Each structure stands twice: as C-alpha cells, then as structure tokens.
Amino acid sequence: MLLELKSVSRAVWGLSFLILGAVVWLYSAFVSVEELFISQPLPQEIVSSPLIVRGVARGPWFSEGLLSVALYDERGNELVSAQALADGEWMTEDFVPFGARLEFKVPDVDSGYITLEKANPSGLAQNASSYRLRVRFR
C-alpha cells in the first residue's frame, strides 16, 4: 500500500510540473508591460504584409477608441503607421482588446520594430507611454 502511494505521489508531482510548465509557456507567449499585452506578433517573429497586430491594453491607452501603431525598419525608417481600434468599451480602467492591420513594402533589412503609443490628447509628458516590440523581416 505504501509503495502505491509513493507512485501516485510521484505521478501527481510530475503532473504538477507539467501544468506549471504549460502556465509559464502561455504567460511567455504574451509580450507585456504593466498596461499592455501584445499577443500577435510575438517578439522576434518573422512578419510580412499585411501584418496583424493584436493585444489588450488598459482603457487609458485609448483616445476615442484608438491608439497609434507604427512599424519601423532597424534603421529607424517608418514603414507604415496606423491606428489600432479598440474592440469594446475603451472608457474603462480594465483591459480592452485591440487590433490593427499594417500593409507595407518589406524593407531590404533583416529586422525592425513595432511601436505602440499610448493616446495622449493632453500632450503632457507624464501621460505619455509607448512600447517597442522587435520583429524580423527574414
């Protein structure tokens, strides 16, 4: 009987590690800052046109349901900019899903980055925030 309990205990212990590993993997699948999570694309992902950017951001990141998204090459040249649209009620402190579609000509460099800018209609520096996500073109 004691031998059977040890086997069950080891099996439960092993299963616990598998579940913990799955949770860590799922969490790492999202790029995050305190108020923004990007689910698509992932860091260093190879991207092409059209590029779909998806995630969730806290309501204050939006103004009139929009936040700015831009794609740059590794030299800092802007390839395209657009407004991500909130998918739901954005006048909240909670997370709101958003999405944007970026169409661009693939540059002759290997990498670049996406920048998401918090809406800041006041223009005050203390209300400004942004996030940069590295991507690859090849």
Question: Within this chain, do residues 49 and 116 fall inside the same structural domain, yes or no?
Answer: yes
Question: Within this chain, do residues 47 and 87 fall inside the same structural domain, yes or no?
Answer: yes
Question: Within this chain, do residues 16 and 39 fall inside the same structural domain, yes or no?
Answer: no
Per the structure, the complete domain to which residue 2 belongs is given by 1-29
Per-residue pLDDT of the chain (138 residues; tens, 9 = 90+): 545 545 555 555 555 545 544 444 444 444 445 789 999 999 999 999 999 999 999 999 999 999 999 999 999 999 999 999 999 999 999 999 999 999 999 999 999 999 999 999 888 998 899 999 999 998
Look at phi and psi of residue 9 and say left if phi exceeds 0, alpha if psi is from -120 to 50, else beta.
Answer: alpha
Tens digit of pLDDT for each residue in 59-99? 999 999 999 999 999 999 999 999 999 999 999 999 999 99
Nearest Cα residue to 52 out of 99, 115, 112 = 99
82: three-class secondary structure by DSSP:
strand
CA R_g for the chain: 20
Question: Within this chain, do residues 115 and 73 fall inside the same structural domain, yes or no?
Answer: yes
Evaluate if pTM is beyond 0.85.
Answer: no
Phi, psi values for residue 5, rounded to 5°: -65, -40
Question: Within this chain, do residues 25 and 74 fall inside the same structural domain, yes or no?
Answer: no
Residue 14's CB: how many other CB atoms inside 10 A? 10
Question: Within this chain, do residues 21 and 75 fall inside the same structural domain, yes or no?
Answer: no
Q: The CATH number of the domain where 115 resides is what? A: 2.60.40.2550
